[in-house]
Amino acid sequence: MIGTDGWLPLVTIEKYQEKPIYIDKNMVETNLLYVSPVIIKKSDVDVTKDYYVSFYNVRDFGDIDCENFTLRSEIKNNMAEGGSSCQYSDVVLKFEHGRVLTPFCNIGCTSILNVLYGERYLKGSENDFSALGINLSNWAKIEIKAINKHVNVFVEGEKVFDLAFDTSLGKLVGLNYQFNGCGSVRNIELFDGSNNLIYSDFMAN
């Protein structure tokens, strides 16, 4: 595991581009995870076309494992701030042996979503993910909670999705938020299976 020094912002043209563009972390807003299109444009990225902004935090999160955890945060992908028309946004927990990836977008684009929880991979083109279509023009409160490998997803306190997986993914080693366009994150809170607060960052005043 190669750790990061706090949150690492990256920009890519393709979603899974092998060589990303690294953004100076000092360019991240002080009270939230956000890099403006003005900053991105300085890295020779055409912000009038598709691009992806990712924020990674790879570190030792203690004894949090895949079976029981809670991640709470607020995300936004406003088109007026550089977000894409579908407002595609991924919330990813990276474990030693796999990922828990929960996607969101606006209501009209949910067929493009793909969910990955351990060995469970579901395509939006084959499943009804309309509940993961939300308004990302404003801050949306997201909660991803696992109890005995059964993941429940809440938006504004309302459960919108759940899915169980079987594979043991090991301990948590990283958090990742990825946006098509300029997304932003705040109020990040991570709890272990006993509901102890293990990590928090970018808390709103």
Helices and strands: H and E segment counts in the chain: 1, 14
CA distance to 29, 51, 84, 161, 162, per residue, from 154 (Å): 26, 27, 23, 7, 9
> Are residues 197 and 182 in contact, defined by beta-carbon separation less than 8 angstroms?
no
Ramachandran bin of 26, using left for φ above 0, alpha for ψ from -120 to 50, beta for the remaining angles: alpha
Number of domains the chain contains: 1
| Grouped pLDDT means (10 residues each) for the chain, 205 residues | 88 88 89 93 91 95 94 96 92 96 95 96 94 96 97 97 95 96 96 95 84
154 within domain boundaries: yes
168 within domain boundaries: yes
172 within domain boundaries: yes
Three-state SS for 153? strand
156 within domain boundaries: yes
Q: What distance lies between CA 13 and its chain's CA centroid? A: 18
1 within domain boundaries: no
Range of the domain at 182: 8-201
114 within domain boundaries: yes
Find the CATH number of the domain harbouring 39. 2.60.120.200
Which 8-state DSSP code applies to residue 195? -
pTM: 0.95
What is the predicted pLDDT for the residue at 1?
A: 66
What is the predicted pLDDT for the residue at 16?
A: 81
What is the predicted pLDDT for the residue at 15?
A: 84
pLDDT in tens, 20-79: 999 998 889 888 999 999 999 999 999 988 999 999 999 999 989 999 999 999 999 999
2 within domain boundaries: no
3 within domain boundaries: no
Vertex 126 angle, CA 124 and 131, to 5°: 45
Nearest CA among 55, 45, 125, 119 for reference residue 91: 55
